[in-house]
Structure 1
Amino acid sequence: MASSDSDESLESHGSEIGHQTNVFVRVREWFLVKGSRLYVATIISLAIFVLFLLLNELGIIAFVNDDSVTRLAGGMIAGTFSLVTLVVSINQLILSQEFVTADTAREQLTGVMEFRSDLSALAQVPASPASPTRFFELIVEAINDRATTLADAVDAESDGGEIIHQFTDRVEQSSEQINNTLEQTKFGTFEAVSAAVAYNGAWQLYAARHIQGRYDESLSEEASEALEELISLIELFITAREHFKTTYLQRELTRFSQLTIYCGVPAILSAMTIGFIYADFAGPTVHAVYLPYIISALIAVVASPLALLVSYILRTATVTRRTTSIGPMVPQKDPDSGPFDVSAGENQE
């Protein structure tokens, strides 16, 4: 097959930063990833409250049948206990990852120190930053610097020059976008991890490896060295992103477990209150006018642990799905997209 390097623009075809101009997309991103999980859970609980009131107004449901509501309250108590038990199991699973021997702890520390040392050498700094946000900023700055060096060292009219300049332009644009995002974040916030997730390092690594394999022999020594360092820096970025993503998700799930326990007790008490309201032989102890509002509110409180579960699972599942690529393997890409078209034995030709 003939290469289409000069015919197609070098696009990453991945999730990039700063391109979410559509209102629906911004709202979706806030709901799935960027928004506080407490706010999202609160919105879900309020939606449940409004839903039950609306169904009552439309005559679809009613709150006057003692037996039905009492059975519902019993089911909600059992369901809440089951959810809390599940959350405790998740918390135990997370804690089990923290129990390591001294040898394992030393190996982990050695690996982290070697990783930080590699970045310090490539970025030419005395020591890499401790803050995750500043750590990402340093890697991105180094990536942008190597991309600029590579572009300056390659003539656009030379063999592969056009595709290399397209590639470096794309890398520089992505670097500037993620830097703008990271500069507006604070230490410990999710935006830093979110920006790193959106950075399409897997595609850049794939493109850089392809360029190196096809044009390395025609590159100058300076360009070849810049390309090699660029590849190493992108690999470091992907490694750092996976490390910080894992650390953050562990903290996220731990926080979810804690909040679920906090909400579990009020949820069980609310379900019990619903049962007590209908426990009188004469019927509900609350006036019929206020009954729909009170029962709907209590049901919303009972559903709060489930709302928390939904809000946290939405974020963790979205982050995991968007980082499924392993190195230059990009499973979410269309097989026919992109400028690189290769066939077996091409280098021999």
Structure 2
Amino acid sequence: MGPSETDETLESFGPDIGSRSGGLAGAREWFVVEGSRTRVAALLSVAVFVLLVLLHEVGIISFANPNSVTRVASGMIAGTFSLVTLVVSVNQLILSQEFSAAGKARDRLDGVMEFRRDIADNAAVSATPATPTRALELIVESIRDDAEKLDAAVADHDRDVREEITRYTNDVRRRTERVAEMLERAEYGSFTAVSAAINYDEAWHLYAATHLRGEYADSLSPVAIDRLDELTDSLKLFNVAREQFKTTYLQRELTRFSQLTIYFGVPSILSAIVIGLLYAEFTGPSVSATVLPYVVSALTVVVLLPLTLLASYILRTATVTRRTASIGPMIPQKDPDEGPFDVTYGEQR
């Protein structure tokens, strides 16, 4: 496939992770991944309260029947117990990954140390920064520098080859600059850092680099090939670092979710019990009929807190995992027919 067959820009076919902004899409992005999980849970709780009150005001639901309300309260107690049990199981699964024998712990440490040495060698520094955010910044700087060197190495090449490589390197620089800006504002432990890591579609750039090397192997000078290989190595380092960073963050996120669920689990069960006790009198509810709908709605919101927390945290963790479900130049998010590259079996024979 010659350059004339790839008029569409190379950057048009990446997964576009985190590119949604503005309007409804921006609000959805905040709700699903960007926003604080506790704020999202609080927003869901407020929405539940408003919904219950509105349904009561229009006459769709009623809080006057003791049998119906107590049955609902009993079901909520059972559901809360089940949810707390599930969270405890998830927490045990996370903890099981932290327990390891001396040999396994040493292998993990050796792997991390070797990876840190690779980053330091690639970036030509004495040691890799301790914080993952700074380590990612260093790799991003290496990628951008390698792209600039590759662009300079093809300056005297044929026009078609030079334009194709330049389009690629320009996109690499533009996207890495965007990620670098996000990382500068990020703090370790915040989702901003993770968002910056998954925002860079290095899988696409790695795929494009591999294809360009094979396509123009005979047209590129030895220096240009070396620069392209160096860029590929830097992209591989970023892929590994992102996966490590994402795994560490998800462990912290799920652990935090487990803590919050336990914290709110007891008030949730107590609130469900109180709802049942409100209707324990033979003469009817022990609270005035005027305020009863608001009291029961508020208690119901407390009962559902573990569920709203579950929804807010699972939305983010599932979305992050889905958007980064690729290893190297494998991009399951894209349609098989998309992209400027097309290959045919045996075309280089």
Is 1:270 matched with 2:271?
A: yes
CA offsets per residue over residues 101-147 of structure 1, 9 Å max, x none?
A: 11111111111111111111111000111111111110000000000
Match of 1:135 in 2: 135
Within 5 Å, which residues of 2 pair with 1:278-317? Answer: 278-317=279-318
CA offsets per residue over residues 3-48 of structure 1, 9 Å max, x none?
A: 7554221125334478444221211111111111100011111111
User: How far 1:84 moved relative to its partner?
Assistant: 0.4
Report the residue type matching 1:333 in the other structure. K
Deviates more, 1:292-301 or 1:18-27: 18-27
Match of 2:176 in 1: 175
TM-score (norm 1): 0.96
Structure 2 runs not aligned, ≥5 long: none
Say whether the 8 Å CA contact 1:4–1:341 is kept in structure 2. Answer: no
Within 5 Å, which residues of 2 pair with 1:221-300? Answer: 221-300=222-301
Report the residue type matching 1:148 in the other structure. E
Is 1:41 matched with 2:50?
A: no
Say whether the 8 Å CA contact 1:267–1:303 is kept in structure 2. Answer: yes
Within 5 Å, which residues of 2 pair with 1:22-171? Answer: 22-155=22-155, 157-158=158-159, 160-171=161-172
How many residues were matched structurally?
348
Report the residue type matching 1:121 in the other structure. D
> What is the identity percentage for the equivalent residue pairs of Structure 1 and Structure 2?
59
Q: Supply the distance in 2 between the matched residues of 1:153 and 1:111 (Cα, whole angstroms).
A: 34
Name the SS for the 1:341 alignment partner. Answer: coil
Q: Supply the distance in 2 between the matched residues of 1:139 and 1:154 (Cα, whole angstroms).
A: 23
Say whether the 8 Å CA contact 1:3–1:341 is kept in structure 2. Answer: no
Name the SS for the 1:60 alignment partner. Answer: coil
Report the residue type matching 2:277 in the other structure. F
Report the residue type matching 2:318 in the other structure. A
Q: Supply the distance in 2 between the matched residues of 1:136 and 1:2 (Cα, whole angstroms).
A: 35
TM-aligned CA distance change 1:18 to 1:77, over 3 Å: closer
Deviates more, 1:183-192 or 1:105-114: 183-192
Once superposed, what is the RMSD of the aligned Cα atoms? 1.5
Q: Supply the distance in 2 between the matched residues of 1:2 and 1:123 (Cα, whole angstroms).
A: 34
Q: Supply the distance in 1 between the matched residues of 2:193 and 2:26 (Cα, whole angstroms).
A: 17
Name the SS for the 2:217 alignment partner. Answer: helix
Match of 1:344 in 2: 345
TM-score (norm 2): 0.96
Q: Supply the distance in 2 between the matched residues of 1:57 and 1:4 (Cα, whole angstroms).
A: 66
Q: Supply the distance in 2 between the matched residues of 1:288 and 1:18 (Cα, whole angstroms).
A: 49
Within 5 Å, which residues of 2 pair with 1:196-211? Answer: 196-211=197-212
Q: Supply the distance in 2 between the matched residues of 1:132 and 1:205 (Cα, whole angstroms).
A: 21
User: How far 1:157 moved relative to its partner?
Assistant: 3.6
Report the residue type matching 1:332 in the other structure. Q
